[in-house]
Structure 1
Amino acid sequence: MYMKLNLTEIPRVKTISKEDFYNNYVKTQKPLVIEELTTDWPAFHKWKLEYIKDIAGEKIVPLYDDRPVSHKDGFNEAHAEMKMSDYINLLQKEPTNYRIFLYNLMKEVPVLREDFKWPDIGLKLIKQLPMLFFGGEGAKVFIHYDIDYSNILHFHFHGKKQCILFTPDQTPYLYKVPHSLISREDIDYDNPDFDKFPALKEAKGLICNLKHGEMLYMPEGYWHYMKYLTPGFSMSLRAYPIRLSSLFKTGYNLLIMRHFDVVMRKWKGQKWIDYKNERAIVNTHKNLKI
């Protein structure tokens, strides 16, 4: 039985004061789309794929696709490499699963730093160079939550991108894989199989479509699934978690969980990956008495 998820539109504003943003969204940990936060940035007018190709076309960039997690993969290990100009040509020519993920292009091309402004919006942003993300039409970023529980300002440029979020309290319905930050990779969040994954019927999520220059605020620990509706790219700015519980979870993820998972992959190989995927179903159905 294939049905749609229970999704509600994320609220939108054109602009907002930093006091209202912090009090009504950061403190309450509710997502928001701000439509006109970037209109006074040079990036708003310049950041198109052709511009990136012109200034960074010769750079060799790491590419990721949607293949299942393997015990042979290193942490954030790329699946392929390509010149940026060739990659953008591919994006503009046809749909592709290849994505650029968490890439520090500004380190390679410092002129990009002049194109954006650190927004004064009530969050103490981590002043490291922002990471960029690129994808072609139909490319998907598998559902996950971030290891460091950051509050994220996610800006999109060139085209449209769909974002589906789930609050942390929806985790029991999402078939979380133990000792990791992801759900089962065989779940199609565009067209979920409720016979195979019945707990998803209980999940309540949030959705928005970002256009050029729009920003999505994602609170700490939120699950997010991204789909490029057209070729485009995004930039994320991050702020430390504000909740003490999130800081403890961050420490656990970075100091214990990640290293434990690496050791188990080396020891058990693919059996460890298969075991975790099986436990995702068993644990979810057991906890919900399905």
Structure 2
Amino acid sequence: MSLEAFEAQLRVGRPVVIKGAMDHWPALNERPWRSRAYLLEKTFGGRRLVPVEVGRSYTDEGWGQRIVTFGEFMEGYLTGGDEGNGMGYLAQHDLFTQIPSLRNDICIPDYCYTDPPPPAPGTPLAARSPMPKLEEPMLNAWFGPAGTVSPLHTDPYHNVLCQIVGRKYVILYAPEESQKVYPRGVEGGGVDMSNTSEVDVENVDEERWPLFKEAEYVECILKEGECLYIPVGWWHYVRSLTVSFSVSFWWN
């Protein structure tokens, strides 16, 4: 997609899958992130420490976090070497500050240097104080086995989600559907969870969440080498269908 076409998409304010924008990335070619040996080499033989979310989703009971070596993560969680570990997800982690050499394997999409619109008037994010302007796009890594889930939530920034390894299922709801997806509120300890839905998208209790079935949505399977633009304020639920390595680029 050309930059001009993408800027037109920004004005439309709807998600879009973009193909071909990552074809030149070393992470997909000469320095492949699908290679276990390459990732171990870049993490000092797997000795780098990384934070791992333990559990299917951060909204599930019993969810927690552990600090493990990258090698332990790959052996114990990614390849299913130890079933007693449960589900593990290296999620929303600034991996590239920790391991700068991996940063050289990817490129910030030019789309992230556009000037996107603010949250749509009348939507939950529009009612809040605007987020400070980012000087540079914010990068996060998402690496885990099949079955890891990001529950239905919104981001405070525009997002280009780039799929480097594997496939993910994504379902998205416009900001105008917010009341139908039942946002959480302030929970125990004063944590504001209003950016996360109460609804378990793939196990809907219709008595508890009767309006959810009326919410309009779009969905896709994001394949290796594809990008998904998620406008600010759009609710999205993401589930890995295979071992998956993604990078999100937030900007405003």
Instruction: Give the aligned residue type for 2:224.
Output: H
Q: Aligned residue for 1:139?
A: 148
Match of 1:19, SS? helix
Q: Is 2:216 the counterpart of 1:204?
A: yes
Match of 1:169, SS? helix
Structural mapping, 1:76-225, within 5 Å: 79-89=65-75, 90-93=77-80, 96-121=86-111, 123=114, 126-128=135-137, 130-146=139-155, 149-179=156-186, 180-184=194-198, 187-225=199-237
State the 1:37 CA deviation: 0.7
State the 1:93 CA deviation: 2.5
* Structure (1 or 2) with the larger CA radius of gyration: 1
CA gap of 1:238–1:219, structure 2 versus 1, over 3 A, is same
Structure 1 consecutive aligned stretches of length 4 or more whose deviation exceeds 6 Å: none
Match of 2:110, SS? coil
Q: Aligned residue for 1:33?
A: 17
Kept in 2: contact 1:106–1:129 (CA 8 A): no
Q: Is 2:6 the counterpart of 1:21?
A: yes
Match of 1:188, SS? coil
Query: How far apart in 1 are the matches of 2:183 and 2:202?
Result: 17
State the 1:228 CA deviation: 0.6
Instruction: Give the aligned residue type for 2:180.
Output: Y
Kept in 1: contact 2:95–2:140 (CA 8 A): yes
Q: Aligned residue for 2:120?
A: none
- The CA RMSD over aligned residues, in Å, is 2.2
State the 1:171 CA deviation: 0.5
State the 1:22 CA deviation: 0.7
Query: How far apart in 1 are the matches of 2:137 and 2:10?
Result: 21
Kept in 1: contact 2:163–2:245 (CA 8 A): yes
Query: How far apart in 2 are the matches of 1:128 and 1:120?
Result: 10
Query: How far apart in 2 are the matches of 1:67 and 1:119?
Result: 29
State the 1:69 CA deviation: 7.2
State the 1:67 CA deviation: 5.2
Instruction: Give the aligned residue type for 1:195.
Output: E
Percent identity between the two aligned chains: 28
State the 1:49 CA deviation: 5.1
TM-score (norm 2): 0.78
CA gap of 1:189–1:60, structure 2 versus 1, over 3 A, is same
Q: Aligned residue for 1:42?
A: 26
CA gap of 1:67–1:107, structure 2 versus 1, over 3 A, is closer
Instruction: Give the aligned residue type for 2:208.
Output: K
State the 1:128 CA deviation: 5.0
Per-residue displacement from partner, 1:132-156 (whole Å, max 9, x unpaired)? 011211111111112xx21111001
Per-residue displacement from partner, 1:8-64 (whole Å, max 9, x unpaired)? xxxxxxxx11101111x1112111001211001112221225132331221111111
State the 1:223 CA deviation: 0.8
The structure carrying a bigger strand percent of its residues is 2
TM-score (norm 1): 0.68
Query: How far apart in 1 are the matches of 2:106 and 2:205?
Result: 41
Q: Is 2:52 the counterpart of 1:63?
A: yes
CA gap of 1:36–1:59, structure 2 versus 1, over 3 A, is same
CA gap of 1:53–1:112, structure 2 versus 1, over 3 A, is same
Instruction: Give the aligned residue type for 1:160.
Output: R
